[in-house]
Structure 1
Amino acid sequence: MSENKQKILLLEDDQELAEQITEILSSYDVTCSEAEEKFLQEASNPKYKLILMDFDLKERDGLMIFRELRKKLPLNKVIMFSSSNSIPLAVQATKLGVLDFLRKPFDSEILVNSVGKAIETHEVFDLDFSGLSDTEWLEGVSPVISELLEKIKKLAIDTNDLVIYGEKGISREVIAKILHRHGRNSDRRFSKIDIASFDKNLSEAHFFLTLKELLSFSEEEGIENKNNFPGTIFLSGVDSIPEAFCLSVAHFIKEKKSPVRIILSVCNKERFSGFETLELPPLRLRREDIPIIALSYLIKHAPRIKYISPQVISFLMYYDFPGNYDELRDLIQSASVCFPGAEVLNFKSLPLDVFSFNNVLRNKVFSLKKYNLSEIRSFFEKEFIDVIMWKVNHDPHKASRFLDVPHSVFSERIKTLGLSE
């Protein structure tokens, strides 16, 4: 039955007190460690949902050991207790990161309530993107991105294997790296396996051999340099493998005993039912974030361009971006390469096609509350010609040649539409 109980690690060198705590917390699976060295080694096991520490230890006080624990495992949740009634000690402990500081002898109800609350509490921390590339798309103020970042925080301190899914053009690998950086295995290295890169004839056997070798490294006891061994394995290229191979991968991961976390990158989550999932939102669901993301890409990839024109911002806000964040980044990179001396990002700088214009104009029309067919036609034509004029530096002769209409006809039409030549 203990397999179904939530696991707690207790540091206590008083056997009688350890037995008392274990009895009070009988609804949990409590593992007691008397020695500091063994405790610090055991604490790195992600199976423990909470750590209990006695301050009044014989060799070193619990706060000194907690400081050492915090350096190695900053996300572990800890409750400390002491026979001392020192308020400054309790304040110091909580400032260092102890969730609760209890006084001995215990009130059973207080201990049970404190443990229950601590296990249900998620650690409050800021996600660290430093040193990671392609994180600009995680900026923004929309409810969608706020919800995603909060979910990433919750999943980071979890240990379950995970399926990250979303449309093309969204970096799943950077999310996996963020989860690893803030996870229980952050003291070990992040490993990536591209299943699609394996030889087609021997792909399945070769893949499982590689995966088993990585998982076996993690099971070695007493390793000194943990960063040489995998803590998280990121599997990409999963969508390209046959269905039977995919089912074998899913079964293997479900049956593995290793504490190494496996994160799969897929477009279709249906092939991995039963796994915990994280959906990455497409850019079109975060339109209010587009100016912020675009500016971040501009600063990184086109620092000589001072700003983005209002017309382009409006265009981007209505565009659906089938290629998502990668498409927005590539648009800005292309503008920087094609027009290296430009200080303003305008329509002339963007490599846009007719499909893009149609998509934007359709979305603009649908955003109108009232319209008729004649108004839609005039609106579409006016917007399209306006963009063409931007692309040709407002030269009507070039525009008419581009549209393959006589200049006199084009000139008359733009006057009818109220556009300046």
Structure 2
Amino acid sequence: MTTETPSQQAKILIVDDDPSLLRLLTIRLSAAGYLVESAANAKIALGILQNYQPQLVISDLRMEGMDGMALFEQIRSQQPNLPVVIMTAHGTIPDAINATKLGVFSFLTKPFESQELLDTVQQAIKLQPASHDALEKDNWRSNIISRSTVMESLLQQAKQVAMSDFSLLIHSQSGTGKELLAKAIHLASNRKDKPFTAINCAAVPEQLLESELFGHSKGAFTGAQKDHQGLFQATDGGTLFLDEIGDMPASFQVKLLRVLQEKEVRPVGSTQSIKVDVRVISATHKNLQHAIKNNTFREDLYYRLNVVELELPPLAERREDIPLLVQHFLENAVKDSNNRVKSFSQEAMELLISADWPGNIRQLQNVVEQSIALSSENLISATLVKNALRDKTTQFPSFAQARDHFERDYLAKLLKITAGNVSQAARIAQRNRTEFYKLLNKHHLVAESYRES
């Protein structure tokens, strides 16, 4: 999906060692349609710059370690045409004036109004048009609406493994778009001209699952009045997506394992096996390693399915995508129902960006559609969004969600206590460094941002 205005296509990097201000600015600019990345200090910002390639940097002047002017000098030496806006307090206005003489685009004096921020950003963006080439999506990923760095990293991994025939396992919470990712991988593969078929293993009764996947012969059971081709045969040459594989009955798992090993299926009631050439992508929201320990999932099947594992992030970890997703759902609602074109107020958009979203993208779509349905005005208010969110964000979290929240909070507290010393934090957690780094990566925590200068 593409957007319509240059402002919505622009990338902005915000640098500030005040977490509350960093979050507030991110929400304000994201609500205005910008793609925003943040950094807790100048050193982290320099590390982000090369891959992120923003059209504008907004930095605080006074920061511990490298200050805003030192950061500006580094940016100017690397990307002389990249505009930089400096934020200052009242007492540092003379420094800010001097900064503009040195080449800083502008400065904002704290506290500043939202409109002043947006006006300054819009003026700065005009200096450097957004790179349409960098933002234009390939056809294979055109249905995935995202500009977040965490999703970009995942999609690069997906494209890399798409050309192989290895089995893939997608792990994520419910409602994150696992089937969309599987379809994108199919379209990026050599099998793109062959069928893509999806089945939810949790939605099909156990007694029908074998017939649905492997097919059956006429007379195999009561009601089998003719031969039925299963999904493996129907998908020959293509990609079969097995969603919620963790809910597959234990008794059926051994049958699926045999098909994956032998690359052939035997329809129910038949004595003949049929060769099939199918790439399998599976997905689950469950922890399959725990299921293996509890003897509810076969270990040999797990390793057959999980040659490569992709972790699809929850919506709360890709908040910069929320304005894009909201716009997409708005456009679809107008197209499907011939409603008047509507939009969310800035306050409503900020609520959407900052909500918890335990139900992820599926929940976001529901909230957007409910707000549209109940709105009598073209501009959807924050009150409508609050009402739509109220019953959905107060639900008791699932065990997996509660565990993830605990892990992230626990790791963040450890890093804060140890001032970002990973070795010390790993010892306190009684984990080795390698495992501890994997946990940090899982929850997108950067140890460096907790280190004292």
TM tier, smaller: 0.3 to 0.5
Say which structure, 1 or 2, has more relative contact order (CA 8 Å, 6+ apart): 2
> Which is greater in Rg?
1
- Compute the TM-score of the two structures, normalised by the length of structure 2: 0.42
- Compute the TM-score of the two structures, normalised by the length of structure 1: 0.45
